[in-house]
């Protein structure tokens, strides 16, 4: 079996992201503590986010707009201006947040890039993802970067056809079972799940059972070995 | 001279966009009429937009956030909740706005697509631009779509190398002198300016003088003829 191309998710696969969202969630809960307990506030925010996903797509800007909208609903039209100011500031801080690569990422990618074509495949705001890739220092290791609005089977068909030798000879690697693993397997690629410490509810899904092209790893340092083994057999 | 590839800007080149922004500007001015006259309100909004461009990039979501931020500054922290609600609604309406192609676009693109590879090159929110392309009915005419965070010489180098035979054999077409014409000429491509009825201040620039690869057209129906003439020499 030949593998030519390795697709890698970015947020929570190469660098911390969800923890930054969680910190902002906590800040949101503090700001609106007079209007409900944590579970209720988080629930309402999740509802609004989910409702807006179709229009806003993924990323910090849409999330910021959803926080403002939720705050407005929760305060029944009596929205304190400092809440809006704080939410805008929280959004801006997320967009300027330093990028911290996860343990082992630099070494694993350096090793993989010698043998395979690396392609970054990520959702989110275009400019923000480009900024994070530049700040990560990993940019030169990638042969291509695809920032996409949705990760479906068709996405992987297209990306691995364009930047590699088709999904059959590609591996997709990421922390989301729903976005990185399942649709890549459907497209005929290999797929490796490397869970992050927390997962956004929207990205949860069951693992595939006994799929010959599926693997699960605890950390990215095992990835070069896993791919080499897949190639052997 | 051979031309293989035609790059086309989207907003205000293929369909109306700036007029929708202007309508939202007018709505913003109405909402905040108690806090200043039109020129002052527009000026403040433009200032905030420009300040945020580095973080938010282009598109409706960043524009909506900038409207909220401007409203907050103008009201000195005494922001009426209905203003926030109206701004959020205006942003959502922009994201759901029907796409209306400009006169002659369908015919010109159908004709050009028979002879050249068409590539859409546009800034803005990823999901929103994909939605508009789908809604325009023009999607099938394009060999490739590149939604980019910035249009520079390097952008056109990369796009025309990836999807064509390099900038030397490509024409870029758009309504923005600053984003569509000048950097494409720098990259060595042909460039055609087709002005829209209004231009966002941020996209204004002087036309090139006596550049052998530059053209200006009043409407897109002249484009196939212009390109054929450029090929003849």
End-to-end CA distance of chain B: 6
Q: What are the chain B neighbours of A128 within 8 Å (beta carbons)? A: 57
- B147 in contact with chain A, both atoms CB, cutoff 8 A: yes
Other beta carbons within 10 Å of B171? 26
Which residue(s) pair with B191 in the sheet? B172, B214
Cβ neighbours of residue A100 closer than 8 Å, sequence gap 6 or more? A15, A16
The B residues from 172 to 231 touching A (CB cutoff 8 Å) are none
More confident residue, A146 or B197: A146
Q: Given this model, what pLDDT does residue A25 score?
A: 96
Handedness of CA B9, B14, B19, B25 (dihedral sign): negative
If you ran DSSP here, which 8-state letter would residue B181 be given? I
A119, A156 Cβ separation under 8 angstroms: no
Fold held by A5-16+100-232:
Rossmann fold (3.40.50)
ipTM of the complex: 0.89
| A45-51 average pLDDT score | 96
Q: What are the chain A neighbours of B147 within 8 Å (beta carbons)? A: 126, 147
CATH 1.10.150.240 in chain B, residue ranges:
18-95
Q: Mind listing the pLDDT tens digit for each residue in A55-110? A: 999 999 999 999 999 999 999 878 888 999 999 999 999 999 999 999 999 999 99
CB contact under 8 A, B130 and A149: yes
Q: What is the largest CA-CA distance in chain B?
A: 64
Q: Of A94, A108, A179, which Cα lies nearest the Cα of A138?
A: A108
CATH superfamily of the A18-95 domain:
Putative phosphatase; domain 2 (1.10.150.240)
**Cα(A155)–Cα(A171) distance, integer angstroms:** 14
Cβ neighbours of residue B173 closer than 8 Å, sequence gap 6 or more? B6, B7, B8, B9, B13, B180, B191, B192, B194, B220, B223
Question: Which tokens belong to B11?
Answer: 């907003």
Q: Mind listing the pLDDT tens digit for each residue in B109-131? A: 999 999 999 999 999 889 999 99
- A153 in contact with chain B, both atoms CB, cutoff 8 A: no
CB contact under 8 A, A126 and B127: no
Q: Mind listing the pLDDT tens digit for each residue in B131-174? A: 999 999 999 999 999 999 999 999 999 999 999 999 999 999 99
Instruction: Tell me how close the Cα of B73 comes to any Cα of chain A, in angstroms.
Output: 9
CB contact under 8 A, A84 and B85: no
CB contact under 8 A, B82 and A77: yes
CATH 3.40.50.1000 in chain A, residue ranges:
5-16+100-232
Pick from A33-37, A138-142, A204-208, B20-24: least confident:
A204-208
Q: Mind listing the pLDDT tens digit for each residue in A110-135? A: 999 999 999 999 998 899 999 999 99
Q: Given this model, what pLDDT does residue B142 score?
A: 96
pTM of the model: 0.91
- B61 in contact with chain A, both atoms CB, cutoff 8 A: yes
Q: Given this model, what pLDDT does residue A86 score?
A: 96
A152, A158 Cβ separation under 8 angstroms: no
- B51 in contact with chain A, both atoms CB, cutoff 8 A: no
Exposed / middle / buried, residue B108 (Cβ in 10 Å: 0-12, 13-18, 19+) = buried
């Amino acid at each position: 079996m030949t593998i030519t191309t390795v697709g890698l998710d970015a947020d929570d696969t190469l660098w911390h992201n969800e923890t930054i969202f969680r910190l902002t969630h906590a800040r949101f809960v503090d700001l609106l503590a007079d209007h409900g307990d944590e579970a209720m506030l988080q629930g309402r925010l999740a509802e609004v986010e989910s409702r807006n996903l179709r229009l806003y797509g993924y990323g910090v800007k849409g999330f910021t707009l959803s926080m403002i909208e939720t705050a407005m609903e929760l305060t029944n039209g009596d929205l304190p201006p400092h809440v809006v100011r704080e939410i805008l500031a929280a959004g801006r801080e997320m967009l300027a947040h330093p990028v911290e690569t996860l343990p082992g990422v630099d070494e694993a990618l350096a090793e993989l890039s010698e043998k395979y074509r690396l392609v970054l495949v990520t959702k989110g705001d275009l400019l923000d993802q480009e900024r994070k890739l530049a700040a990560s220092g990993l940019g030169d290791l990638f042969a291509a970067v695809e920032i996409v609005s949705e990760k479906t089977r068709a996405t992987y068909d297209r990306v691995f056809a364009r930047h590699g030798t088709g999904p059959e000879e590609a591996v997709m690697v990421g922390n989301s079972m729903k976005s990185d693993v399942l649709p890549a397997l459907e497209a005929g690629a290999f797929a490796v799940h490397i869970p992050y410490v927390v997962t956004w509810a929207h990205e949860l899904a069951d693992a595939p059972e006994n799929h010959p092209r599926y693997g699960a790893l605890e950390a990215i340092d095992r990835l070069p070995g896993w791919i080499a083994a897949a190639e052997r057999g």
